[in-house]
Structure 1
Amino acid sequence: MLALAGAAGSTFAQQTLVVKIGHVAALSGGAAHLGRDNENGARMAIDELNAKGVLIGGKKARFELMAEDDAGDPKQGTAAAQKLVDSKVNGVVGHLNSGTAIPAAKIYSDAGIPQIAPSVTNPKYTRQGFKTTFRMVADDAQLGGTLGRYAVQQLKAKQVAVIDDRTAYGQGVASEFEKAAKAAGATIVKHEFTTDKATDFTGILTSIKGARPDVVFYGGMDAVAGPMIRQMKQLGIKTKFMGGDGVCTGELPKLASGALADGEVICAIAGGVETAQKPGFDKFKADFKKKFGAEVQIYSPYTYDATMAMAAAMVKAGSADPAKYLPVLASISHPGVTGTIAFDEKGDIRNGALTLYTYKGSERAELAVVR
């Protein structure tokens, strides 16, 4: 539990301790809606912490969110990380993308500042050996692997085409999907490449059409997946479309401009809540919509939980000094809206969940939560 200022009435208890929490995400570009969603989750936690009047080491803490835009670009990501380090933040929640979080992790590590990534799924992120690096969700090995097995075992796919956008995230999840699909008995008939800014896929989709796949898997984000699905329909490619969490958003039907058939897309997000967590999770979504006038996209509950877990570690350590609360964070067991927040020796979330979805009409429909 977080200690509250109201629990102590001494003058010392009322001294204010400013705690700076950095947040970095793509707030511009194709993933801006996801970046804003993440930032709002952190902002919601900050506002709640300040309303409660949390005590850290006997001082009333005032939390401040320092938000930066990395535009999903690795160079901007490292520049944003350095800016937060120079500002002497006490901790960082972010980044949104694997491609920006992986290089930024070294900057935070060198400065000794804890970093909790709410939505980063590339396994490399926590394989760099940094003690400051933590992840809130299952990684691509689990996510891509689960989707690859699902394609063969549930969708009965024998021939599979793969497309990735050459980003750290897109390549990572596509590679894991391909490995699992092959291991389950599928043949990879095509592996094509695009970019995270492409808009015309006629060439690669024509090539894929000739290979007659049962499933097309795309490793990348919804801003590219939507137009790709629309162009598949124009070319008469009638097959299941699969993707990871970058595809699996509330915006996908809109981005596909009405080309999404019911049950056509199967995707997964890293994370998910089971029956016991549903009431708290639903309350979070309702409170979020009331506060920001927007639906939860994907990962705002995880930025919220990351921020709360970081604050809980500071309270338990009696200090917001990164060197003092870092060991407490590494061994934390914090009850969050997404489940218990606890990390393994690499900094990965313990017992991470995945949620499989499809789309019906313009709504995302849950298929199953798996671990």
Structure 2
Amino acid sequence: MKLSILKEHLNESIGHVSKAITSRSPIPILSGIKFDANEEGVRLTASDADITIQSFIPAEKDGVQVIRLDQAGSVVLPAKFFGEIIKKLPSNEIEIEIRPPFHATIRSGGSEVQMVGLDPEEYPQLPLIEEKKIVSVPSDLLKTMIRQTSYAVSTSETTPILTGVLCSLDENGLKFISCDRHRLAQRETPLAAGEEQYFRSVVISGKTLNELSKVLPDENALTDIVVSDNQVLFRMDNLLFYSRLLEGTYPDTSKLIPQQFQTEITVSSKLLTEAIDRAYLLSREEKTNIVKLIMNEDQTLEISSSSSELGKVTETIPVEQLSGNLLKISFNSKYMLEALRVLDSEGVKLSFTGAMSPIIIEPLGETKVLQLILPYRTTN
């Protein structure tokens, strides 16, 4: 194999596929990036057996020749060293030559690097996915849905299914749900799809979705979601992102969400977030994260936290609307802050069915986001 390639395009592709590399892989060859070159361009593939990412660099892009190919071929190069050395090479044009068996020579400017590669025939094949259930979603919307749900997955491996986000598509649209037993995040969006494209009980690791979010384009480009029995493929322009689905049955979270409320308040997201953030500083020092919220008759909220060593924070903010019973309630301020920060709304509605029932947090407006937090029982 012999070719020359523009550094910026190679760097970008390495950055994308490296997100699938892990230092703990039981299969030694998976510590490398598979490099395939032909007349169409170069394909880079990386995998940790759960995630596989493939990036394609076309030979020509926007009228600019990106790759000059002298000889087609394949090789697996050590990911960490290959990625770091490419970043540091002096010239924008990089020449890569592979000689038998798999010895790589990389030249750029006055630099020449020798690297020992591995046999590409030993690299695992890409997962096979039946392309029956396919739906296209704007990349920026998919990114937002991930951000508004993946933060609430469980970090405990004792219940592996809860470390994932439950994804489903039906006549109501696309829905993502995450729950760690203490809180829940749910995002729905209308999406036109035929019944043959519907899927349910598809659970994708929260960590995997966060890695996907890093490679999703910000612009309004479409990403195909292709679902099969044990794999899901996210297909973007020149990028394929495969993920193994989590096995198991996700619990029915609909029973957690109250349908009627005793108390509802609407308040400025900014005022509420900033007040809880200041109270969180003290609750964090106490290592409890407990913040108290008291509803007053004069349409205000009192937010407070205390520390036996440092003192107390109390502040009052106005409420735009308050209906129902006045409550005193305690909650985990870290969970509340994380819920508020992903709402993307100027106003927020908090709904309660009692001091010891779930708190429901929703943005004002058309966006269907629902956050749920379980309150704390406190002695006073």
TM bin (shorter chain): under 0.3
TM-score of the superposition, structure 1-length normalised? 0.22
TM-score of the superposition, structure 2-length normalised? 0.22
Q: Greater share of helix residues, 1 or 2?
A: 1
Q: Greater share of strand residues, 1 or 2?
A: 2
Structure with bigger gyration radius: 2
Larger RCO of the pair (alpha carbons < 8 Å, separation 6+): 1
